[in-house]
Amino acid sequence: MWGVALFGLVLAADANLPPGYAGAMGYVVPVLLGLWVRSTAYPLAVAVAASVAAVGVRLGAAPPAGVALWLVWLNRGTALVAIWASAAVVVAYR
């Protein structure tokens, strides 16, 4: 329950931040909640949802003036690495 609420909060924040900010890094926190959830599928399911959300939020948005498109996608790529690394740590820890 808390994971869903936190995921929704991160999604809302990420969608409202201008492109170029690393708002997708917030998706790591719901993944790390998997350390306290008994289900081994939880971190992987959240990582998949976070990956879709991190990419989907920025697909239709053009970067503001002065922000290069490559920087926006570099931030998203870095967030995807952090999301999946966190999921791997949680699964390995379980």
Least confident of 8-17, 45-54, 81-90: 8-17
The residue ranges of every structural domain in the chain are 2-93
Specify the pTM.
0.88
pLDDT classification of 82: cutoffs 50, 70, 90: very high
Task: Render pLDDT for 10-24 as a digit per residue (tens, 0 to 9).
Answer: 989 988 888 778 888
Euclidean distance between CA atoms 41 and 46, whole angstroms:
9
Q: Is the pLDDT higher at 89 or at 60?
A: 89
Q: Which residues of 47-86 are buried (b: 16+ CB within 10 A; e: fewer)?
A: bebbbebbeebbeeeebeeeeeeeebeebbeebbebbbeb
pLDDT classification of 66: cutoffs 50, 70, 90: confident
